[in-house]
């Protein structure tokens, strides 16, 4: 009976318990678990899972396919997720007409495994073949092709892409897609940016502002909906459409900004309720957060409907930007276009803030020195968007969007020094208490008990 089927949440718990046992895919040590749902059906869940050293060196990670039977709860023996030499050779031949010469595992993304390959026909040509666990590869290829045709590569540089014929059908069958791009030499900005001087950061944020703006100016279909942006290439003609949001599981597509914000906030409340290891935070704030979510979401002002809906790479942070090894303010390529969206431009808030803040376990680190100058440099570079950023529509949108963004706190490590412990949830507390003061001032602390 359906009520006895394993739910996705129960599947995650079973998966993590299996991996944390230490007998599944290796000893835990100080590593964390990275996982991604590949397939979901009436009978099973299939996951990609790996042990990852999130603070360690940027090296390839062994990923495994693990399937859980929803009826019997039986967990399959993990199978390595790999591309064989034959599969790599077939892919590169189909996409480029060239023959595989050499290959090696390459740095992975969070939702992919990668190989760097060379070919017999050209000693100077190198490619990256990625087996992607998320996103529609055919859509990614089409969107990247659209960018290469319509946007100056000095403004929004991307790696040349080589679509594999028939990949859309292959991905539907396999549950994972293969993407081939040209290898771009350089260094990830995430490893360089924290060491830059303030002057260098100012130069960098001006360049990345132009890249954001170029993406935001891509023409979307009308009426502009909010959801996942999907590109199709039929006989060289690239078209865009908007489907339900998959990345955050919000559903849709939404025809109103208020509808999108409501689902964003409701989804965040569910995530907060599930979050483990933050009982002190939840004891103090969860009840009042629920009160606002249950009673105030219909009060989101209509002015938010004026905010521009744009095309966006929703994860365009320093970890997806390749810079020159010799000149770190030179952007070589922006990569990993899995997360394409049609969404209010200000939903980029957290990503843009990455260029003004240091990395932190809380996901919202302390500001760099003169962080406001970095923000000013970003928005002054794109004055039309600066006007929008200062508008009532955007500020009202951000009030509600940040409420959803920050209501769930990250688990706080037990061994933090007192000063860091006090500041760990500072932004979460500032945002939610600001909403309490404005929207539930009469709900006092006694209501938490």
Output b/e per residue, 362-383; b: 16+ Cβ within 10 A: bbbbeebeebeebbebbbebbe
User: pLDDT tens digits, residue range 120-141?
Assistant: 999 899 999 999 877 799 999 9
Cα of 145 vs its chain's centroid, Å:
21
Confidence of residue 337 (pLDDT cuts 50, 70, 90): very high
How much is the pLDDT for 24? Answer: 84
How high is the mean pLDDT of the chain? 92
How much is the pLDDT for 318? Answer: 96
How much is the pLDDT for 58? Answer: 66
Query: If you count DSSP H runs as helices and E runs as strands, how many of each does the chain have, helices first?
Result: 14, 15
Euclidean distance between the first and the last CA atom of the chain, given in angstroms as a whole number: 38
Q: How far apart are CA 47 and CA 104, in angstroms?
A: 24
Residue 159 and residue 130 in contact, taking contact as beta carbons nearer than 8 Å: no
Q: How far apart are CA 373 and CA 69, in angstroms?
A: 54
Residue 61 and residue 108 in contact, taking contact as beta carbons nearer than 8 Å: yes
Residue 449 pLDDT exceeds 60: no
Q: How far apart are CA 283 and CA 281, in angstroms?
A: 6
How much is the pLDDT for 307? Answer: 98
User: pLDDT tens digits, residue range 385-395?
Assistant: 999 999 999 99
Residue 156 pLDDT exceeds 90: yes
How far is CA 290 from each of CA 153, 299, 436, rounded to the nearest angstrom? Answer: 46, 15, 11
Task: Decide the pairing of beta strands 63-69 and 309-313.
Answer: unpaired
Residue 1 pLDDT exceeds 60: no
Residue 448 pLDDT exceeds 60: no
Q: How far apart are CA 236 and CA 39, in angstroms?
A: 30
Confidence of residue 310 (pLDDT cuts 50, 70, 90): very high
Q: Phi and psi of 150, rounded to 5°?
A: -115, -15
Average pLDDT over residues 18-25: 85
Q: Of 164-168, 266-270, 373-377, where does mean pLDDT reach its minimum? A: 164-168
3 state SS for 148-211: HHHCCCCCCCCCCECCCCCHHHHHHHHCCEEEEEECCCCEEHHHHHHHCCHHHHHHHHHHHHHH
* 76 burial type by CB count under 10 A (0-12 exposed, 13-18 middle, 19+ buried): middle
Domains of the chain: 2-80 (no CATH), 85-183 (3.30.200.20), 192-448 (3.90.1200)
Q: Which of 132, 103, 125, 133 is CA-nearest to residue 116? A: 103
Count CA atoms closer than 13 A to 259's CA, side-chain side.
12
* 165 burial type by CB count under 10 A (0-12 exposed, 13-18 middle, 19+ buried): exposed
Q: How far apart are CA 70 and CA 41, in angstroms?
A: 9
Q: How far apart are CA 141 and CA 179, in angstroms?
A: 8
Q: Which of 112, 107, 88 is CA-nearest to residue 98? A: 88
Average pLDDT over residues 6-14: 92
Helix (H, G, I), strand (E, B) or coil at 212: helix
Q: How far apart are CA 82 and CA 130, in angstroms?
A: 10
User: pLDDT tens digits, residue range 102-115?
Assistant: 999 987 776 788 99
User: pLDDT tens digits, residue range 428-443?
Assistant: 999 999 999 999 877 5
Beta bridge partners of 260: none
Give percent of the chain above pLDDT 90. Answer: 76
Average pLDDT over residues 322-337: 96
Q: How far apart are CA 20 and CA 25, in angstroms?
A: 9
Which residue in this structure is represented by tokens 């431009």?
345
How much is the pLDDT for 37? Answer: 86
Average pLDDT over residues 341-369: 94
Report the run of H or E that residue 32 belongs to, with start and end: strand 32-40
């Amino acid at each position: 009976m359906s009520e006895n089927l394993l739910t996705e949440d129960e599947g995650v718990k079973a998966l993590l318990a299996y991996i944390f046992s230490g007998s599944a895919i290796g000893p835990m040590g100080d590593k964390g678990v990275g996982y991604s749902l590949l397939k979901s059906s009436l009978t099973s869940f299939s996951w990609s899972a790996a042990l990852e050293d999130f603070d360690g060196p940027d090296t390839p990670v062994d990923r495994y396919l693990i399937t859980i039977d929803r009826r019997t709860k039986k967990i399959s023996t993990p199978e390595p997720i790999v591309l064989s030499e034959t599969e790599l050779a077939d892919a590169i031949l189909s996409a480029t007409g060239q023959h595989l010469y050499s290959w090696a595992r390459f740095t992975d993304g969070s939702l992919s495994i990668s190989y760097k390959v060379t070919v017999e026909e050209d000693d100077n040509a190198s490619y990256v073949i990625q087996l992607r666990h998320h996103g529609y590869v055919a859509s990614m290829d089409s969107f990247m092709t659209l960018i290469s045709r319509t946007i100056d590569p000095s403004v929004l540089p991307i790696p040349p892409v080589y679509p594999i014929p028939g990949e859309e059908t292959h991905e539907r069958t396999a549950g994972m897609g293969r993407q081939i791009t040209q290898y771009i030499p350089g260094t990830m900005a995430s490893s360089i940016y924290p060491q830059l001087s303030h002057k260098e950061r100012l130069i960098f944020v001006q360049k990345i502002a132009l890249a954001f703006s170029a993406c935001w100016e891509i023409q979307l279909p009308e009426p502009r909906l909010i959801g996942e942006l999907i590109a199709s290439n039929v006989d060289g003609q690239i078209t865009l459409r908007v489907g339900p949001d998959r990345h955050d599981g919000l559903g849709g597509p939404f025809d109103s900004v208020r509808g999108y914000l409501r689902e964003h906030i409701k989804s965040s409340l569910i995530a907060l309720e599930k979050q483990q290891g933050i009982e002190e935070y939840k004891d103090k704030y969860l009840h009042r957060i629920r009160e606002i979510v249950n009673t105030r979401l219909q009060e989101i002002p209509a002015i938010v409907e004026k905010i521009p809906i744009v095309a966006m790479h929703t994860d365009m942070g320093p970890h997806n930007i390749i810079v020159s090894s010799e000149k770190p303010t030179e952007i070589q390529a922006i990569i990993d276009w899995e997360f394409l969206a049609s969404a209010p431009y200000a939903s980029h808030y957290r990503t843009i803030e990455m260029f003004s803040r240091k990395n932190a376990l809380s996901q919202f680190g302390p500001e760099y020195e003169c962080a406001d100058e970095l923000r000013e440099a970003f928005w002054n570079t794109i004055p039309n968007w600066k006007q929008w950023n200062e508008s009532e529509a955007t500020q009202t949108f951000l009030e509600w969007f940040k409420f959803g963004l920050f209501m769930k706190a990250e688990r706080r490590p037990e061994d933090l020094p007192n000063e860091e412990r006090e500041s760990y949830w500072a932004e979460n507390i500032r945002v939610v208490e600001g909403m309490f003061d404005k929207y539930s001032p009469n709900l006092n602390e006694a209501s938490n008990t």
